[in-house]
Amino acid sequence: MDVFYEESCSPKNSKKEMRRYKILHVISRIFLVISCAFLILTILYIPSPMALFLGLPTVMLFSSWFILQKWKCRYNVSYDYVFVSGELRISKVFNLYRRRLLVRIDCQDMIQIGDVDNPSFERFHAGPKTKTVFCTTNDEPAEGKFFMYVLANVGAKKLFVLECRENLLMNILKFAKRSTLESDYVMQERKQK
């Protein structure tokens, strides 16, 4: 039995994030063009001491471009969760186009799954050997979603926090061990009543 389930988690203020990304993108392109012009001038003046005088602004402009490139990746970020027959794949998506796979978690590597609102999450989060990885950009879950945690042994013990619907949890439980779901888990529709 093959199972395929895909879900996305995008920022609540996506228009604002998109605008910030575009502004930083344009500014970084301007820095790139100016730094390339300075590089050409520096190369033309190589035999003279003027090349050293032009070299410093060239390095500073390229550095500014590089920093802006890294900085703009903080904006307009969303996450994709794909579950395919026993494997959860978490990807980070930049500006809706560039995708980077963060981790693949096999159901056999999952230690515990549950709701972030439960006390077991705080116990795992406070653990000194557990690294917490937030795979959402929102502080509050979107309508119809909740914050779910997945404690897994992926090279090291990691605690992944996802913003998803309960369907993702139900699909994972079809392949995970019975003891994986936390004992005090309450279905989301019961919590809302």
Contacting residues for 121 by C-beta, under 8 A, at least 6 apart: 114, 115, 149, 159
pTM of the model: 0.78
Mapping DSSP onto H, E and C, the string for 95-134 reads CCCEEEEEEEEEHHHEEEEEECCCHHHHHHHCCCCCEEEE
For 23, the token pair is: 């502004």
pLDDT by residue for the chain (193 residues), tens only, comes to: 678 889 988 888 888 888 988 999 999 999 999 999 989 988 888 888 777 788 888 999 999 999 998 888 888 889 999 999 889 999 999 887 888 999 999 989 999 998 888 888 888 888 888 899 999 988 888 888 889 999 998 888 999 999 999 889 888 988 888 888 888 777 777 776 5
Q: Which of 121, 101, 113, 119 minimizes the C-alpha distance to 179?
A: 113
Spatial distance between the Cα atoms of 66 and 29, rounded to a whole number of angstroms:
10
Spatial distance between the Cα atoms of 26 and 85, rounded to a whole number of angstroms:
42
Spatial distance between the Cα atoms of 187 and 142, rounded to a whole number of angstroms:
17
